[in-house]
Amino acid sequence: MHERHRFWQRALRLLSLGVPREASSALFGHDHSLQQETWLRSLQKEKQHIIDWHDRLTDIPFVIIDMETTGFSPEQGDEILAMAAAKTVGGVVTDAYMTLVKPEKPIPEHISALTGIEAKDVVFAPPLAEALRTFVPFIAAGVLIGYHIGHDLAFLRHALWRHYRQKWSGRFLDLQPMMTLIGHSCPTFDDALACYGIRCPRRHTADGDVEAMTKLWAILLKELHGRGIDTLHDLYAALSRC
């Protein structure tokens, strides 16, 4: 518990969220839906333009994300309960984000047992539309990565479209194919953690899983470099051949 507290305390101390001043009305207003939509669209485009295909992986901001949800299908009514992310450069965490999300429906008992998130924990949590106003600018600053990131992206895309009629256009990478690329068969996140002996005492919590993924990503960066994969273009090209 103390290790987890120190990890997030150090990360959160390094940088603020850096939300643009011109976005403040979109962030905090309740009657500015058009401004919110315009801002979210311009934010994604602006942030993605700063990343070049030939940038070195160690120089690119990668944002590790994880979500806890009530199921696997947002289209069938499953909801986000927690969102966490960590900005990294060269495998080092430079900033971190974590929020619980207040769902619209009761949390299933088996999900509470798995994640530890109960109804009492989300009473004062922001609803999803509000949480997105801080989560989106945080993650828009880099290339998203996660283990089986398709799950997280499905919920992110559904939420952005439902609440703001916006599509997520940012770049992303999945850590699982990277494990295959460097010669490890790790179908699950637990397999990958076991492969490198990474401990995750708070498994199935958004911030706990993100913390473990930051350790895995730092190792993978070194592994990729050892195989001559040094730029974003190198990585995409290598993954396309897997």
pTM as predicted:
0.82
- The pLDDT score that the predictor gives to residue 50 is 74
Q: What is the DSSP string of 4-66?
A: HHHHHHHHHHH------GGGHHHHH-SS-HHHHHHHHHHHHHHHHTT--TTSBTTTSEEEEEE
The pLDDT-based confidence of 234 (bands split at 50, 70, 90) is very high
Q: pLDDT of 129-180, one tens digit each?
A: 999 999 999 999 899 999 999 999 999 999 999 999 998 888 999 999 999 9
Residue type, 132: L
- The pLDDT score that the predictor gives to residue 39 is 55
